[in-house]
Amino acid sequence: MERVSVNLELPQWLWEMTEGKDIFLPEIEDRMKFTIELSSLNVKYRTGGPFGAAVFESETGQLAGAGVNMVVTGGSSVFHAEMTAIMFAQKNTRKFELSNGGNSYDLFASTEPCAMCFGAMPWSGIKRLFCAAKGEDAERIGFDEGPKLPDWEEHLRKRGIEVYTSILRNEATAVLNAYKNTGGVIYNSDFSLK
C-alpha cells in the first residue's frame, strides 16, 4: 500500500466568505438562509454537490464551522456537507464532542441527513439539528440517501438531539433542482471517478 494522506480544504469562495470573520446569526431562519446559500454557491462555482451545512453555537448564533458537499471534487464519499461542517467546527472549537464543556451547538443542513450523516450525529456533540429540504427531495433528483431508519428523527431525539425539519424547504429544493437542471453530477455508489 502506498503512503497517502487526506487533506480536506474547503473551496476558496467559502474561505473568502468566512475566514477571519466572526459571523453571528441569532435567528434560526437567518442561519438556515446562510446554509442554503452555501449549497447554492457550491452549485454556482461547481465545487461540489448541492448541499451545504453549518454549525452554530446554539445561544449566540456564532458560526463554528461551515461545510459543503465535496464528494466528487475531494474524491471521497465521506465529504458530505454535514461531515465537513462538523469536522471544521470540531477543529475550530478544539472539541471532538462539540457540546462537551459548556456551550451547545446546532447543525443546520440544506437537506435532511443521509444514512452516513445521520449515523455521525450522535457522536458529533450537536444538540439540535435543523434541516431544509427533505431526503425525498434529494432522491427525486437521483441521489441515494441510503437505508435510513423510517423514524430517524425519534432515534436522534432519544439520543438528546432535537430535530426540526422543512425550514425553508422550498428554497433548498430549488437549489437541488437547479443542480440537476444545470447538469450537476448525480453520484451514488455506482459512480466512478474516471
- Look up 136 and say whether it is catalytic: no
Which residue, chain included where needed, has cell 473551496?
11
What lies within 8 Å, CB to CB, of 75 at 6+ separation is: 193
CB 127 within 8 A of CB 25: no
Residue 101 CA: distances (Å) to CA of 57, 94, 134, 157, 163: 13, 11, 32, 21, 22
Q: Look at residues 110, 85, 126, 104 and name the one whose alpha carbon lies nearest to residue 174.
A: 110
CB atoms within 10 A of CB 25: 19
Annotated catalytic residue: which of 29, 37, 59, 82? 82
Q: Look at residues 103, 152, 160 and name the one whose alpha carbon lies nearest to residue 131.
A: 152
What residues act catalytically? Answer: 82
